[in-house]
Amino acid sequence: MNRKPIFAANWKMNKGPSETEDFAKSLLSKIQNRTFPCDIVIAPPFVSLAKAAEVLGNVPAVALAAQNCSQFDSGAYTGEISGMMLKEFFVHYVILGHSERRAIYGETDAVINAKLRKAREYNFKPIFCIGETLEEREGGKLEQVLRTQVSEGLAGLSERDLQDTVIAYEPVWAIGTGVTATSAQAQEAHAFVRSLVAEKFGTESAAKIRIQYGGSVKPSNAAELMACPDIDGALISGASLEPQSFLDIIQNGVPG
């Protein structure tokens, strides 16, 4: 199965509009007139989306993502941003279920599922994040945690929805820590996640879905991780904040 790798930069709460403009212009100058054998996605904070869209909105090689999206359409939800609003910013992808949303903001599998379904109503491609904590892994709960996250997070999605969804496997203990999962650990978890998708949606859908790895991905480890058969790209934060580092990850991950 030939899956197009996808590299997404999750900036988290970094880069306001002016820093976003600098990054976008620098990236543009480096990628101009080049084609890539992968999808490239940038997820700035909400307030920087307009600036990113201004610089990169017409650049076919790069798509924009939001880092979150409300499960509601509009109304009395102070501090929230709806899919309808995001539509105005050339947003194509939405990151949902990130471990920080789960751990810090208490998002449950049910909330994440509601967000995924709402994102699909607006035709966004969800980047659906899953992953275990160190305690869960060491307690032998890896498979159970992934099974629950996949089955509850993807509940009620159609095969069509699934085709437009990307899963990001991000072991929580590897996020922002500098500790990367070994390629064997990552491959094993990815193959397991793909088997969970097969159980739920069939082997054909499972063979098509892209599963990114996330957690301390950097230029020096991208090649080894991306060489694993079930790893289809990366979700990167720390090493995506500088354009050359982000590009080096892509180039090392998918040479040519």
User: Is residue 228 within 8 Å of residue 183, measured between CB atoms?
Assistant: yes
Check binding of 237 to ligand PGA (CB under 6 A). yes
One residue of 5, 44, 153, 238 binding ligand PGA per CB under 6 A: 238
Q: Which residues contact 77 (CB under 8 A, 6 or more apart)?
A: 70
Q: How many residues in the shown chain lie near ligand PGA by CB under 6 A? A: 13
User: Residue 170 catalytic?
Assistant: yes
Closer residue to ligand PGA in complex, CB, 9/53: 9
One residue of 16, 176, 202, 229 binding ligand PGA per CB under 6 A: 176
One residue of 214, 233, 243, 253 binding ligand PGA per CB under 6 A: 214
One residue of 5, 6, 7, 10 binding ligand PGA per CB under 6 A: 10
Contact range with ligand PGA by CB under 6 A, out of 136-144, 169-177, 189-197, 203-211: 169-177
* Spatial separation of the C-alpha atoms in residues 64 and 54, rounded to whole Å: 11
Check binding of 250 to ligand PGA (CB under 6 A). no
Q: What is the CA radius of gyration of the chain?
A: 17
Supply the minimum distance, in Å, between the C-beta of residue 49 and ligand PGA.
18
* Spatial separation of the C-alpha atoms in residues 52 and 54, rounded to whole Å: 5
* Spatial separation of the C-alpha atoms in residues 54 and 56, rounded to whole Å: 6
Supply φ then ψ for residue 38, to 5 degrees: -155, 165
Catalytic residue selected from 100, 170, 204, 224: 170
One residue of 55, 130, 225, 235 binding ligand PGA per CB under 6 A: 235
Q: What angle do CA 88, 94, 97 make, to 5 degrees?
A: 145
DSSP characters over 187-254: HHHHHHHHHHHHHHH-HHHHHH-EEEEESS--HHHHHHHHTSTT--EEEESGGGSSHHHHHHHHHHHS
Contact range with ligand PGA by CB under 6 A, out of 27-35, 58-66, 116-124, 237-245: 237-245
Check binding of 175 to ligand PGA (CB under 6 A). yes
Query: Which residues contact ligand PGA (rule: CB under 6 A)?
Result: 10, 170, 175-176, 214-217, 235-239
Among all residues, which ones are annotated catalytic?
98, 170
